[in-house]
Structure 1
């Protein structure tokens, strides 16, 4: 049954890939963004944050962006640019699923591909883990090119491999509603301006609070509602902001995703196109306000002088 499901998913992927012949990338992104914004966007002359994300996907094809999107190569980039955060230790790199020796892996581990999103396999107990199911999922992911599904150019030319990392328990019995599972730091021209803090309650409901760099809750939401109660600033928040800026100083806009475990900060990824430029921002006026903070004429040329400041 699992093999049949994977064959069906691969056929669905091939159908999406074939659509690139019929629908160009501009129409693909414009049609999908119009369903979010309610108006048909001009992606050649963008104004909002979503429009500018789509504009970069479409018109700025830089190998630097491919490196940032590669979950393997970006590790070296992170190591060179900041000492404030940690990388989750690598246990192995595999070209094929059959290269994985599960008997040599610890009780807990994480497998994922370097070239996509959604291929992650988490094992928290090897005695209750199905390696065949994991292999089938990863084998399918290796065969797919994420560009043909999401039309995000930065993923198109990444040579796919499988990564195995240590399992990181960021909660350690802490209350999930007072401990962010992720900080997503939006940096404009090398400056951290807004931070999404992700939470999930005991029933699996998701919440996102958006803060400024001083942990002041902002008057807009991204994707999910705010938490029902106020949340205290994490102990490593300030250091997270500084680390994100060190990683983003050569990028006109990006989102740096970080995981907190007590005083330690772990790197997750640098996201160039959050939600593929289809973010649900409420109220909608904030899509334009955030877009005004990104000057497309200041491309990836290093830090800006004088130092950019958030509104």
Structure 2
């Protein structure tokens, strides 16, 4: 009997995946998210009485669609938001912004720089040596991203109406000299609650979690944690938490990312839906704990 139930469930998953892939843009958002949740999480999405962190994030995708979220998710427009909210001094220097890859002025870019698209997540291209940089490969990747709307795969509403553009920013590294650690602060209604630190993203991606006093939290969200990997409490943690509170005022759930470089804090990005609302938690208890922090309107 148990084997039969498992077989039936797997079949339902396959049907849901087929429907999602075939009718992605045609399906209403609510139905699409229910089907996708079944595929991604092996569970039914409860939107009537959401309790877990993931369930509530998917509820927010549907029912908390404030116009300003589009600007906050736009990697170019958010700069003006940061300037007005906390100050221009927290912005990584901008080297250029273009509508098309053909317009990128590579000749006038420095030897090291970072390219990213304004309307998605993950399209970062890092140039550490312009002399060996593969411009064609970078342009091909950027062109592909520019032609997509990041809203449709997971229905992350803030991305739907962002104008696709390309920005170049100054290349930055922290004290490691090789990477840039993110200090990702989870905020609920303007109150910081937890800090996530990602490291080894280009080697072995791991992720440690800390409370506001920098005590290690022995839980995982999507990536493995490593208690033996010691990350010192950042010198400017108090300032980061203050800035995070200002940027998250009035928002049920939002993650604000910062960098700490040579004793100076820089803004990274604003993320409304951690792992697009499909994060794997190490325990149900932890998923419910974070879910309890989100107050739905």
1:90 aligned onto 2:89 = no
Q: Which residue of 2 aligns with 1:73?
A: 77
1:157 aligned onto 2:165 = no
- How many residue pairs get aligned? The number is 277
CA drift of 1:37 comes to 4.8
Q: Which residue of 2 aligns with 1:268?
A: 268
Deviation beyond 4 Å, 4+ runs, structure 1: 15-18, 35-38
Deviations 1:204-248 (A, max 9, x none): 222211111111112422122222414331212222111111111
Q: Which residue of 2 aligns with 1:169?
A: 173
Q: CA 1:38/1:161 → structure 2, altered by over 3 Å: closer, same or farther?
A: closer
Distance 2:181 2:43 in 1: 34
Deviations 1:233-264 (A, max 9, x none): 12122221111111112322100011221311
Is contact 1:110–1:120 with CA below 8 Å preserved after alignment? Answer: yes
- What is the correspondence of 1:131-146 to structure 2 with a 5 Å cutoff? 131-146=135-150
Distance 1:232 1:118 in 2: 26
Q: Which residue of 1 aligns with 2:11?
A: none
SS of 1:196 mapped into structure 2 = strand
Q: Which residue of 2 aligns with 1:223?
A: 222
**Which sections of structure 2, spanning at least 5 residues, go unmatched?**
1-19
Distance 1:114 1:232 in 2: 32
Q: CA 1:35/1:150 → structure 2, altered by over 3 Å: closer, same or farther?
A: closer
Q: Which residue of 1 aligns with 2:47?
A: 43
Is contact 1:36–1:280 with CA below 8 Å preserved after alignment? Answer: no
Is contact 2:181–2:198 with CA below 8 Å preserved after alignment? Answer: yes
SS of 1:20 mapped into structure 2 = coil
Aligned equivalent of 1:121, options 119, 122, 125: 125
Deviations 1:174-205 (A, max 9, x none): 7x7xxx7111100011010011111228x822
Q: CA 1:24/1:102 → structure 2, altered by over 3 Å: closer, same or farther?
A: same
- What is the correspondence of 1:225-264 to structure 2 with a 5 Å cutoff? 225-229=224-228, 230-264=230-264
CA drift of 1:93 comes to 1.0
1:111 aligned onto 2:115 = yes
Q: Which residue of 2 aligns with 1:33?
A: 37
SS of 1:255 mapped into structure 2 = strand
Stretch moving more, 30-39 or 140-149:
30-39
CA drift of 1:276 comes to 1.0
Q: Which residue of 2 aligns with 1:211?
A: 210
**Which sections of structure 1, spanning at least 5 residues, go unmatched?**
1-14, 298-311
Q: CA 1:161/1:245 → structure 2, altered by over 3 Å: closer, same or farther?
A: same
1:19 aligned onto 2:24 = yes
Is contact 1:16–1:149 with CA below 8 Å preserved after alignment? Answer: no
Distance 1:214 1:199 in 2: 20
Question: When the two structures are superposed, what TM-score results if normalisation uses the length of structure 2?
Answer: 0.86
Q: CA 1:84/1:223 → structure 2, altered by over 3 Å: closer, same or farther?
A: farther
Question: When the two structures are superposed, what TM-score results if normalisation uses the length of structure 1?
Answer: 0.82
Is contact 1:87–1:266 with CA below 8 Å preserved after alignment? Answer: yes
Is contact 1:235–1:262 with CA below 8 Å preserved after alignment? Answer: no
Q: Which residue of 1 aligns with 2:5?
A: none
SS of 1:221 mapped into structure 2 = coil
CA drift of 1:270 comes to 0.7
